[in-house]
Each structure stands twice: as C-alpha cells, then as structure tokens.
Amino acid sequence: MTHIAPQPGIMDIALYEGGAAHVKGMSNVTKLSSNENPLGPSPKAIEAMQAAVAQMHRYPSSDHASLRGAIGDVYGLPAEQIICGAGSDEIIAFLCQAYAGPGDEVLFTEHGFAMYRISALAAGATPVEVRERERVTDVDALIEGCTDRTRLVFIANPNNPTGTMISTAELARLADGIPKQAILVLDGAYAEYVEGYDAGASLVASRDNVVMTRTFSKIYGLGGARVGWGYAPKPIIDVLNRIRGPFNLSSTALAAAEAAVRDTAYTEHCRKENATWRSWLAEALAELGIPSDTSCANFILARFASAQEAESCDAYLQSRGLIVRRVAGYKLPAALRMTVGDEASCRALAAAVKDFKDTHS
C-alpha cells in the first residue's frame, strides 16, 4: 500500500500517553494519575445528564447559550465572550488552528502541558519551549523567547505538572511584554483550586490579545463529559466560532456542565477538601524525605533522589494498585505526579510510599 504523507509536522507529534493507559485491564486500582476530582461531579450534574438522555434523538444546542449564560453568571463574565469546547484541549487546538501556521512560533514553558506542543505541530507551526526557573514559569524568559514570528504564548497557571503558579502582577507583566502580534493564553485548568484567583480574567477584559481557558474536567469532576471553555475578546471569539463544529458538545455534556457550574456550594466543598488533603499528603511525603514545591492545584509533584528511585517507586505503587503519573516526558524523570485523592487514597498512598522507602533505602 502507498503511504500517503500527512502535512509536515504531524509525524513529529508523539502519541499522547493518557494517565489511564496502564490502568487498562487492572481491577481494584486507585487512579491518581490524571488529576481528576476524587469526589466526582456534583450530584446535580449527574441528575441533569440523566434527564438530558430523554432528548438524545435531538441535536444539541449549537451556540451553547444556556451553558455560556451559566458560566457568565457564576464567573461574572459576559456570555458573548465565552466559547465552549470538547474539553479545553479543543479550545487550545482551535487557537493553534486559527492563529498559527507554517513559519509561526508557539511558545510554552519547559514543563508546560503536552497539548500545546501537539496542537502547534498539528497546525503546522513550530513549537518553542522556554526554560523555567526552578519549575516556576519565568516571565522574563518567555518575553525574551518571543520573536516577530511568535503568534501564541501558552502558560498554565497553576501549571501542570509542576503545581506552581505566578502572581497576577507577573501575568500582567507577561501580557505587556510579549509582542502585539502574539496572543497570550492563560490556561486556568486548575484555577478553581486557588481561592480568590480570577485566572487572568481581568487581563482578558483589559487587553486585545489575552485569552483565558478553563475546564470542567478538574474541580467539576466531569473529565468524561469533555467540556472546556474560553473567555476572550470578541474578535477572537468570532474567529474561533468559525472553525468550531456546530455540535461539538453533546446535550448530556452541556446539561451536566451547566448544573455543575451552578452548584457553587459543591465546588467550594471540593476546593476545601483538596486543600486539606493536599497539605496532608505533601507533609507526609516530606517526612519521608520526598520534597515537593508548594502546589496550588489538585496534585503534587513528588521529587525523588533519582530517576531510578522514581521509577521503582512507581512500579511499587502500581503493585499496590496505586496509579500515579511518571512525568519523564515532561523532562522530570526523577519526579512522580500524584493527584490528591480522597482521604482514604491519600492515606493509602502515603503508607505505600513509606513501605517503599523502608524496603528500598
């Protein structure tokens, strides 16, 4: 058979290895590898999803007006400046598709989220990785990394997989420092875990070239529903809507997300539980001689003495049914990213790491 070559750049994309990859075929596992909410979604989201099933023969809303209205109400944003996608992954892909092509550069940080590179390459653009400072986004390095070919600058704040974040003042400095032809994308996938943080919404409101992306996959516990959203200046929303498929979100996903975002008491409960068990887990690991940077998200980046130790701890945890994430692909071979689970999972994880240390040191 003749191999029909795809567009340049496509074969440079490494296949995404999801956190669920090694859970396949295993029973009785505690999955702490994809930064999911261990408490699940609001019960109201499940109810709304079930009710929506009755209308499955109908196409879903194409303008997502009801969900955008709910997001607008809860986050205090104008609904006409919101766009919804099949996960924030899709918003990231739309941005690259719409604004970057061959010869253009897409910047992101050294330990930035994998989809930035994938979407840049898929659009035919050139991904450019910029160094961080001790696993923290370095605004100066990003500004220096820009050229007249830079079209998009992605940062996640808090960042995955490091868990660190920079201040809103630093975000503003970044927005002001990048060239005018570039769009700054502030990925707030984990923003709800940070009390009182607007994820850069105020910067979007005051500038022409700043976009914020958010997700229902993390604190809202709806990773399986695939809903994300973006908040952007109107001209950018208009551009993105032109490449968005009209029915990119299912009716069940739309219903679930709307009920979830409106259940603010449940969101607050999840935020508090995460904060409690995140500190507990970080301290428990520190007592075992495993440091981590202060995490602002729902996971901890546990740093081991060597790549070999991280690898054998990962294997040991797997043998105990605890699935965490190796982040060697993010150039962090000596670290394991551990999602903050519920109380039982955090206790089980700490106990297993202790047993590993006792038997392997």
Site residues (CB under 6 A) for ligand PMP?
Answer: 35, 87-89, 113, 156, 160, 187, 189, 215, 217, 223, 228
Given a contact cutoff of 8 angstroms between Cβ atoms, the answer to whether 122 and 93 are in contact is yes
Question: Which CB atom, from 259 or from 327, has the smaller least distance to ligand PMP?
Answer: 327
Residue type, 3: H
Between CA 194 and CA 65 the distance in angstroms is: 27
Question: Which CB atom, from 224 or from 291, has the smaller least distance to ligand PMP?
Answer: 224
Tell me which residue has tokens 């409690």.
276
Question: Which CB atom, from 215 or from 295, has the smaller least distance to ligand PMP?
Answer: 215
Instruction: Provide, rounded to whole angstroms, the least separation between the CB of residue 214 and ligand PMP.
Output: 8
Which tokens is 186 given?
């502030």
3-class SS of residue 44? helix
- CA of residue 339 relative to chain centroid, distance: 13
Instruction: Provide, rounded to whole angstroms, the least separation between the CB of residue 223 and ligand PMP.
Output: 6
Instruction: Provide, rounded to whole angstroms, the least separation between the CB of residue 228 and ligand PMP.
Output: 4
Question: Which CB atom, from 16 or from 247, has the smaller least distance to ligand PMP?
Answer: 16
Question: Which CB atom, from 30 or from 137, has the smaller least distance to ligand PMP?
Answer: 137
Given a contact cutoff of 8 angstroms between Cβ atoms, the answer to whether 146 and 179 are in contact is yes
Give the closest residue to 160 by CA, choosing from 316, 36, 9, 72: 36
Q: Give the residue nearest to ligand PMP (CB).
A: 87
Instruction: Provide, rounded to whole angstroms, the least separation between the CB of residue 53 and ligand PMP.
Output: 22
Q: How many CB atoms lie within 10 A of CB 85?
A: 24
Instruction: Provide, rounded to whole angstroms, the least separation between the CB of residue 88 and ligand PMP.
Output: 4
